[in-house]
Every structure is written in C-alpha cells, then in structure tokens.
A and B are shown apart, each in its own frame.
Chain A
C-alpha cells in the first residue's frame, strides 16, 4: 500500500525562525511529489517536484526531492505568522493521477 509520512506532526516556532518540514514516501509507480498549504479548507498548491536534486523556490519557501532516498523537504525561512497552517505532502502515483497524502505538519508561528 502506498504510504506518505510527514514529520514532525506539529511544530511551534517564533517569527523569524527557519523551519524544515520532512516528507518520506513509499509508493509504487512514483510520478511526482507535491506540497500544499492548508489554512482553513482548500489546500493551496506550493510546489511540484519531479526530478531529484533540483530546488524549487518561491519567495521564502523552497523544496527539494531526493528520489534515491525517497524523501522531500520543505524549507521556510524568516517565518511569519501568516505561515501558520497545515503543510501537506502528496505523491502522484499510478496512471489515474491519484494523490496519496501524508497526515500533514501543523506549523504555528508565534510573535
């Protein structure tokens, strides 16, 4: 059975800190890995990673994939209170473009 595991499950940091969120996966027929941010309801797309070792960057957020070790990290530098959310990692598997999600990391950024 396909599995995506995220760590830590929750995290509390001070504004300005840098955080690293982890995602490991064990799936058949890996196609790509996606990161989403979920604040209230709709997960909003952050990154899609297909190739190993190529960092994707958007402002203070960055992510990289290691297909040999089967994991990805999401980095957030200079955190702000607006970064408080659940961060979801998901993997596209198989031919049906099915996303298998982890349980998420709940990040809380305090002043």
Chain B
C-alpha cells in the first residue's frame, strides 16, 4: 500500500458531461501529479500541484483542470468529456524538497466515456 487513495475506482460518464476525480496523497507529501493512462500506453503527465499551485502542465487542453487543498489532497476535473478521455487516471504524490524523490501512485480511477 502506498498511502495514496483515489476515488471513485470506476466511473461511467456520457460524452459532454463533467467529472471530478479525487486523490488523497500520502501523509507528509506536498506534491501531487495526475497522469492519464490509455489502454496499452504508459501514463501521460497531465499536471502537477505543489503547495496548492499548479507547477507544470502536460499537453492537455484547458478542460482538464485541478485543485490542491491545504491538506495536500487534490481533485482532477474534466469538462465536456470526449470518448478519448476514457482511460485510467492515476494520482501520484511525492515529497519534493531538493531534487526528486520517488512518486507513489494510487490505485487509479477507471473512467469510461460512452
């Protein structure tokens, strides 16, 4: 167990709807990153939050947005869902002080858009 919890585990949405995914990071970690993993692919970086501020973003459109709360938990919001948004969404938490530390992943949320 990594101490990173994601909810819900599975979700089915209709094209055009909006979805919110949640992540509780490991205790003491100040950084959370979100990744999208399509079937048969490696995870793709969506964005990262450090101390409640967005700290880097991958090649995802603005309809992907996020938040980090004072307790370092995080949300990923996706508006105007498209069929291609169907994927496993992974949250990773880490403690960034100097340099890099290993990122610990949650179990993911499997999103299906129909």
A residues near B (Cβ < 8 Å) are 4, 31-32, 34, 36, 41-45, 48, 50, 88, 90, 92, 94-104
Contact = CB atoms under 8 A, between A and B. Distances in A.
A36 B4 CA distance: 16
B108 A100 contact: no
Chain B contact patch, size range = 20 to 34
A97 B96 contact: yes
A104 B45 CA distance: 15
A102 B99 contact: no
A25 to B, nearest CB: 12
Contacts of B101: 48
B78 interface: no
B90 A42 contact: yes
A102 B33 contact: no
Contacts of B58: 98
Given A31-B99, A96-B56, A97-B100, A43 B43 contact: yes
A47 to B, nearest CB: 9
Contacts of B45: 98-100
B42 interface: yes
Contact of B43 (A31, A32, A88, A92): A88
A103 B42 contact: yes
A101 B55 CA distance: 19
Contacts of B44: 101
A103 B41 CA distance: 5
29 contacts: A31-B99, A31-B100, A32-B100, A34-B102, A34-B103, A36-B105, A41-B110, A42-B4, A42-B106, A42-B108, A43-B43, A43-B105, A44-B105, A45-B103, A48-B101, A48-B102, A50-B99, A94-B56, A96-B55, A96-B56, A97-B31, A97-B33, A97-B48, A97-B55, A97-B96, A98-B56, A99-B35, A99-B103, A102-B42
